[in-house]
Amino acid sequence: MRLGDGAWDRMISQAFQLPGLGRQIHIPRTVYRMRGVILAAGFGTRLWPLTEDRTKPAIPFLNRPLISYCVGYLAEHGIRRIIINLHHQPESIRDALGNGSHYGAEIEYSLEEQILGTSGALDRVRDKLSDDDFVVMNGKIITAMNLGPAIEHHRDSNALATLVLRPNPARERFSIVDVDTRGWITGFGPHPQPLAPSAEPGEPGAGDPQLAAPEHANSPGIAPTSSVERDQVAPLMFTGIQILSPRIFDYIPLNVFSHSTVHVYPRAIEAGEPVVAFVSDADWYEMSTLSRYLDASLALQHRTCGSQANRGLVLGRECAIMPGAEVTESILWDRVVVEAGARVRRSIIGDGVRIPSGSNISRAVVVRRERVRDLDRATVVGDNLIAPID
């Protein structure tokens, strides 16, 4: 069974209250007349082979382009004039979004012939962002966070930049962000050390991705910076959402590749500029890897479908699972056929793939081999290319 786009919108907005996933938004919001920028130029190498013929933000998430949720999220906050940077497979984004009117937005595209990095992308359109604060977000995330308090905190702090952070109690591989007692960011550290094996399930530090250190939640952010203190509380990580003052362009180099956390924020911090933190524990999903994409899709599908028959499956258009086939905890894109006697578990099946009878697919991505140029990177079986999900 496949739910239509309207049904998905209603069910997800009710279960998750996600801005941009439907019109029934239950969180009152202030409307902000500022511009937004969505970063969508990356190659999506960790999502290969799904990103062979499209950029990462154009992959389907619950049967809609992932980036459409970002556009809807900004539009729900009144941020409707949106710039999206493009590089890898740019037409996949243009085809998905058009001029943005379907999502209540006005979209302008910035095509990068050579990829410019997270702040180089802003340099290229600085003339359009020089008159007011603006919001920047990665095109690979979905969140239920109310952006309004972060914007107000940014304005109250007269900040050069406000980065939205969240606790990372599971110590996933996201760089640590150090914050002092004022709530100002002082630097960007390495990935946190893995959890100690002795941590018991349910205890702080035991790996619950939604667990937030209470002293961090929805506050300007006070985070310890010593190594001892880091081991005792959840480290903070960057969500990919930030509010910037036009003063940021004093620190972004002209006409070159630059990355915000490497080339821009350290310079601004050293100059004494207020680069501040806003910490939230609102629901947040990031699709940078195959396993994260699969887990996030199944988690939200589980919350929206409840006990329905297709619980544990995300089915695209015109899919057919034949009697006698077994398909569990998987994402099937459009026009997938799973023949009788085939087994598919915790896998992602791309457009137009036929899984032959007798196949046993587990923790893998399957796409049509004709869509892939470098066949040596994975296993070719008949008309399909199969890559493992690590």
C-alpha to C-alpha distance for 255 and 277, rounded to whole angstroms: 28
C-alpha to C-alpha distance for 221 and 178, rounded to whole angstroms: 10
Q: Which residue has the tokens 């080339």?
A: 263
DSSP string, 121-141: HHHHTGGGSSSS-EEEEETTE
pLDDT of res. 305: 64
C-alpha to C-alpha distance for 270 and 250, rounded to whole angstroms: 13
Query: How confident is residue 10, by pLDDT bands cut at 50, 70 and 90?
Result: very low
The helix (H) or strand (E) run that includes residue 150 is helix 148-156
Q: What is the mean pLDDT of the chain?
A: 85
C-alpha to C-alpha distance for 122 and 254, rounded to whole angstroms: 10
Average pLDDT of the segment spanning 181-192: 93
Encode pLDDT of 79-118 as tens digits: 999 999 999 999 999 999 999 999 999 999 999 999 999 9
For residues 288 and 67, the answer to whether their CB atoms sit within 8 Å is no
Asked: is 5-286 a CATH 3.90.550.10 domain? The reply is yes
pLDDT of res. 15: 41
Q: Is the pLDDT of residue 388 over 70?
A: yes
Encode pLDDT of 265-282 as tens digits: 999 999 999 999 999 999
Q: Is the pLDDT of residue 19 over 80?
A: no
For 52, the token pair is 């062979």
For residues 92 and 54, the answer to whether their CB atoms sit within 8 Å is yes
For residues 22 and 70, the answer to whether their CB atoms sit within 8 Å is no
For 321, the token pair is 């699972």
Which residue from 148, 390, 388, 139 is spatially nearest to 286, judged by alpha carbons? 139
pLDDT of res. 296: 93
Which residues touch 53 (CB under 8 Å, ≥6 apart)? 89, 92, 371
Q: Which residue has the tokens 């310890």?
A: 224
For 244, the token pair is 């910037």
For 164, the token pair is 């939205």
Average pLDDT of the segment spanning 34-46: 94
Q: Is the pLDDT of residue 369 over 90?
A: yes
The region that residue 219 occupies, defined by phi over 0 for left and psi between -120 and 50 for alpha, beta otherwise, is: beta
